[in-house]
Structure 1
Amino acid sequence: MNRKEAIENKGHTVLVDSHPDCVCYGVLTDIDTPENKIWQGTVKINGIHTVNTARIASHPPYQEGEEVTVSGTKIRPFTGKTTHSYRASLLNAIQVLEKETNGSIKELEEEKQQLQELRVDLGNKRGKAEDPFLYFHLTEEYKEIILQEQSYDEKMSLEGCPFEMDWFDTKANRWTKVMHENQWVFKTATGKRIRLQPKDTIRIHKEQFEPFQILLNELESPSKQSLARLMHYYGFQRKHMVQCHNTLLRQLLEAEEDRQFSGVNFIICQKNESFLMIQHRYERKLHSDRDDYVYDRFECTSDLNERQVITYTNMQTSQ
């Protein structure tokens, strides 16, 4: 309130806002307006306008009839209604505070609920890993056994399928590793032959559909070991592979009996600022009356132009 307003409000009810948790009201009985200083006013307290805490409500800073002198910056005009007594004003202020507190409690409860839901949701996302398997039903089309994927309804022939797979044994309530032999006949890891039925469930790990894993599936053990040694020599692991261009599987699937074919696969690895390029040159001769001929040559070139070559042909590895 400025000096002019103070003079106009002298003898009228004003608000005293000198306490951080309580606003009182009373009659402005006197004003002091010295030059070059903030004016002061004397107010005779008649009631309590607002309280912010229960502690202040139980012990108000000013009592009825008390005269207080405060800075003019702590005095404001009052346009509301007064109660018939100091006690009634305090009771009204308490009721207002209680209503506001209940509203705050409701808001806090809602916020607490949202925080709990958010915490649970984030916890579930952290703890819930993506299912690493694709699931198929066995079915038959035109006398051919088909794997029918459950989510996307894609189909894949079981004949010549290169992937490892599990069959869900409903009686034992568990997954069992199986290999397809012919038609509906499968063989378990223990060598037992079983006959599966339409609608039986098969699962295949998603990793096996990655080009690099498909490439590994088509390599013999010594060749796999050679590739692993090369990557380890340069300080790379499988997790550092960023690209694999695999032509071997396509040629194998298209190959006919006693057919010879060759090609090149490319594998690129990256770790921080380091790169590794691997060229895999291969040759295959498929035979029906004897072992297939296998030739693999891995040529690695690092970003520092360091080069290593390993070749494998059937039963021996050279460097």
Structure 2
Amino acid sequence: MNRSHESRAGSTDNDQSATGRRGFLRGAATVGTTLVGFGAATGTAAAGGSDGDYEAPHDYPLISTRDHYAINWYGDPYLTDGHTATDYDTVGDWDKYDDATEICVFVHGWNADDGNDDDIDSAYTCELALDQNGYDAFNVGFSWDSDKGGGIDQGWYEAKEIARNNGPKLANWITDTDRPVRLIGHSLGARVVGSALETLNEWGRHDAVRSATLLGGAIDDEDVELDDEYGTDIRDVAGQFDNYYKTDDDVLAWAYSLGEFNSAVGRYGIQDEADAPANYEDHDVTDVVPDHGSYYEPGDGCIPQVVSEF
């Protein structure tokens, strides 16, 4: 199965212009060095530790937007020829989709190299953990251009923009399916999930996502508040929203905090509990999850807690 889906009617393209957000950070050697460490730590197979090194079948099903983006000479992402703000591809073996009553989509984080199968291996690893805990749905990975860019920040800020721009693409797939959908976003995959909820809210699709789950989310801790980036989208679109955080997550404690000058929601949870959406819940898994890469590892992560909330 290998299809390409065009832009959803009525949707709006993302602004691909330069944002200038990277300015002084690109010139800061200490921040650059920190983000090099973050990049090394967040490739899925060795994401700040290990996700168990499970190998997926070569035909594992994916919603893919790989090579939909490239980086121009001054460091900004742009859509490649033939692609729109909302198109996507489906690859791999989707035979079980026809009998599925529910779909679970795993969204990987930064620096996942599809050439090394980081994207399918991480999704498959999460599926094994879900199966181990009695959740038997159709699982699929969402593979996006998380390893583009370069420079002193190792492509971190390009990846942030591409992650956000992938939200409408994931949202478009969600509107195309007639099955209930659960979303699981690891690390920078949290930005893809948040952007997808934002897009679905703009499209008036308030019944499309049964649940959304963040694992070690690499977005700011205030982004999930009602008066900030994704709060109203969480409230209006997700049936439930669960955030799993680890207070001693070294990747988020050092690399994210120094690179963003902020705290990640995957480290301490929401910044202001009083401003949390009604369907939002934090879960402290510090004593359960050994490292940033293990949230979704069978037998070593927090998937038992995730499934219990389903």
TM-score (norm: length of structure 2): 0.25
User: Which of the pair has the greater relative contact order for Cα pairs under 8 Å at 6+ separation?
Assistant: 2
More helix by share: 2
